[in-house]
């Protein structure tokens, strides 16, 4: 099994916003990155976004021009899981659905080399259960990046029941190599951040649903009254309403407490507007 310094080739599955951000971080840290997505358009869009982001950093003097161009060259787009067979670390950033993730981990277990570490960017799903789908549960771990990954300073690492000390140490060191602060959670529903954050977001939806206040006043109250950079309703849009709903359902099912029951308004909104676009206003908050 590779140590943090030996992680040279990283596979990232999913060319959405999270996968693109993780790819950028790994490439800038000197890794060869294989970015996998079945959609060629998503891959093209991801590479364009990553290149533009790295060049902005170079223009600001936060990255040398040579380092910027080298990072871009280290990224290779692939379309099949078989292309990840030589990766030292594979990080999946696909849909937040346990069955879909388990099927992927079964495939990865068959194809990747025996020493490879398999990581999930899940924000709530049990790492122990994902690991149980493989023959290497000791090498399965959670790496929960936050949106957008190149800007947010945190990685939440989750150990499954079988995750080895060696894998934990390697992934922790690798996360620090990416320039992130690491917090560690045991494998409980929602882990640390979402266990605390999602009930607040849900309560904001309940306040709106029951007519306590307008969405503007709810968000302004939390921004100015608690010094949050954005209000909970805006943050829910930022995270993705579908993701918020998924995490709340994991919390509700896993912990069995009705306080995690999703607000009907969140359920309704997530059905009609479950995607979110990064706007200049949001970028400014985190820049």
Q: What is the pLDDT along the chain (287 residues), one digit of tens a residue?
A: 666 568 999 999 999 999 999 999 999 999 999 999 999 999 999 999 999 999 999 999 999 999 999 999 999 999 999 999 999 999 999 998 999 999 999 999 999 999 999 999 999 999 999 999 999 999 999 999 998 999 999 999 999 999 999 999 999 999 999 999 999 999 999 999 999 999 999 999 999 999 999 999 999 999 999 999 999 999 999 888 988 999 999 999 999 999 999 999 999 988 776 444 434 444 444 33
Cα–Cα distance measured from residue 190 to residue 171, given in angstroms and rounded to the nearest whole number: 20
Instruction: Tell me the chain's radius of gyration from C-alpha atoms.
Output: 19
Nearest one of 97, 152, 146, 88 to 126, comparing CA atoms: 97
What is the C-alpha to C-alpha distance for residues 10 and 71, in angstroms, rounded to an integer?
A: 13
Indicate which residue of 126, 194, 246, 270 is catalytic. Answer: 194
Active site residue 227: no
Annotated catalytic residue, options 123, 175, 246, 270: 123
Q: Is 144 a catalytic residue?
A: yes
Whether the predicted model's global pTM rises above the 0.85 cut: yes
Q: Cα–Cα distances in Å, from 85 out to 3, 50, 71, 76? A: 18, 24, 22, 14
Contacts of residue 36, Cβ cutoff 8 Å, sequence gap at least 6: 11, 12, 13, 14, 15, 77, 78, 79, 80, 81, 83, 84
Distance separating alpha carbons of residues 35 and 231, to the nearest angstrom: 33
Please list the residue range(s) of the chain that carry CATH number 3.40.50.720: 9-186
Task: Domain 196-272: give its CATH architecture.
Answer: Orthogonal Bundle (1.10)
Burial of 91 (0-12, 13-18, 19+ CB in 10 A): buried
Identify each DSSP E strand in the chain by its residue range: 9-13, 32-36, 75-78, 89-92, 117-120, 140-145, 154-159, 181-185
Distance CA 52, CA 33 (A): 17
124 belongs to the catalytic site: no
Cα angle 51-55-59, degrees, rounded to a multiple of 5: 170
Q: What is the DSSP letter of 105?
A: H
CA distances from 126 to 90, 149, 161, 180, 186 (A): 17, 21, 10, 23, 10
Query: Given this model, what pLDDT does residue 223 score?
Result: 97
Catalytic residue among 144, 175, 185, 202: 144
Catalytic member of 138, 156, 164, 246: 156
Dihedral angle over CA of 163, 108, 43, 62, nearest 10:
30
Which residues of the chain are in CATH 1.10.1040.50 domains?
A: 196-272
The correct CATH number of 9-186 out of 3.50.50.60, 3.40.50.720, 3.40.50.300, 3.90.550.10 is 3.40.50.720
Residues annotated in a binding site for CoA: 53, 60, 123
Show contacts of 118-121: CB within 8 Å, 24+ apart: 118/90, 118/92, 119/89, 119/90, 119/91, 119/92, 119/143, 119/171, 120/91, 120/92, 121/18, 121/22, 121/91, 121/92, 121/93, 121/145
Collapsing DSSP to helix, strand or coil, 234 comes out as: helix
């Amino acid at each position: 099994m590779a140590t943090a310094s030996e992680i040279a080739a990283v596979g990232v599955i999913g060319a959405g916003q999270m996968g693109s951000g993780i790819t950028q971080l790994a490439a800038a840290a000197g890794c060869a990155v294989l970015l996998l997505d079945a959609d060629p358009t998503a891959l093209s869009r991801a590479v364009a976004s990553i290149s533009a982001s790295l060049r902005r950093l170079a223009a600001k003097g936060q990255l040398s021009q040579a380092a910027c161009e080298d990072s871009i060259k280290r990224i290779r787009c692939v379309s099949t899981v078989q292309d990840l067979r030589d990766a030292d670390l594979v990080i999946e950033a696909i849909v937040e659905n346990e069955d879909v993730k388990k099927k992927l981990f079964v495939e990865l277990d068959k194809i990747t080399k025996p020493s490879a570490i398999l990581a999930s960017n899940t924000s709530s799903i049990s790492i122990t259960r994902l690991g149980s789908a493989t023959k290497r549960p000791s090498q399965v771990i959670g790496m929960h990046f936050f949106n957008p990954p190149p800007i947010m300073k945190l990685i939440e690492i989750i150990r499954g029941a079988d995750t080895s000390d060696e894998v934990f140490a390697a992934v922790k060191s690798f996360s620090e190599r990416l320039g992130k602060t690491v917090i560690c959670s045991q494998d409980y529903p929602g882990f640390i951040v979402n266990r605390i954050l999602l009930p607040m977001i849900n309560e904001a939806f309940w306040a709106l649903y029951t007519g306590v206040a307008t969405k503007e006043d709810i968000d302004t109250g939390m921004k100015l009254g608690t010094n949050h950079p954005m209000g909970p309703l805006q943050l829910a849009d930022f995270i993705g309403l579908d993701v918020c709903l998924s995490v709340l359902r994991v919390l509700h099912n896993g912990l069995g407490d009705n306080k995690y029951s999703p607000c009907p308004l969140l359920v309704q909104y997530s059905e009609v507007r479950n995607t979110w676009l990064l706007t200049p206003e949001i970028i400014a908050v985190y820049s």
